[in-house]
Amino acid sequence: MILTDRFIELINTPSAALWASNCNQELEPEMVRLLGTKVEPDREHILFFLPLKYGEGLLHNFTHTDKLTFLLAIVLTNESYQLKGSYLSHRPCNSAEVEFQKEYMTGLSTAISEYQGLPGESAFNAYYHQPSVAVRMLVREAYEQTPKIGAGEKVL
């Protein structure tokens, strides 16, 4: 599946809230708020960043499953999509990726402050933690998740 220009634009939007989710062998779900995502040039793979503080359960689950779900939601408009696919690998983030995460979280915190009237600095402190891990994912399907009639339908 190839991510369209629209998806790439949304993923790169500063007000995009990003989450990843999977489950353990007992079918108990785990989810983690992410610190940013990069779409690879082939448009089929993404690399997302998560703080170890919140992501250990999700990472542990990769020892028995490669099924992975990614949520993209725009704070301002509620437009949202789920991408479903496969976990490929993970590794510690490098310094450039940590800098990228800071920029992403600064943009998101500003959006939270401006559009929702909430304390953006508090949001930054809650979500941004180091060390972090980069997870590579192959995207296979995309689903509409915006709260409206048609939510849940496959779009890509």
Partner 1 sequence: MESEAKISREMMAGLQGVVPSTLATCSKDGMANVTYISQVFYVDETHVALSCQFMNKTWHNLQENPKAVVIITCPATFTLWQLRLRYLEAQTQGPVFEEMDMQLAAIASLHGVPEGLYKIRSALICKVEQVKCLYHPHSA
Which residues here bind partner 1, judged by CB under 8 A? Answer: 19-23, 26-31, 33, 53-54, 65, 67-69, 71, 73, 78, 80, 82, 84, 116, 118-119, 122-123, 125-127, 143, 145, 147-149, 151-152
Min dist CB 110 to partner 1, Å, is 15
Q: Is the dihedral of CA 153, 57, 136, 92 positive or negative?
A: positive
Min dist CB 142 to partner 1, Å, is 13
Q: Is the dihedral of CA 108, 109, 114, 119 positive or negative?
A: positive
Closer residue to partner 1 in complex, CB, 79/97: 79
Closer residue to partner 1 in complex, CB, 5/143: 143
Min dist CB 96 to partner 1, Å, is 25
Closer residue to partner 1 in complex, CB, 65/89: 65
Closer residue to partner 1 in complex, CB, 22/37: 22
Nearest to 131 by CA among 104, 97, 107: 97
Min dist CB 150 to partner 1, Å, is 8
Beta bridge partners of 154: 143
Under 8 Å between Cβ of 154 and 81: no
Min dist CB 45 to partner 1, Å, is 19
- Alpha carbon distances (Å) from 45 to 62, 65, 70, 78, 110: 17, 18, 12, 24, 28
Closer residue to partner 1 in complex, CB, 78/96: 78
Beta bridge partners of 85: 68, 139
DSSP secondary structure code for residue 130 in this structure: S
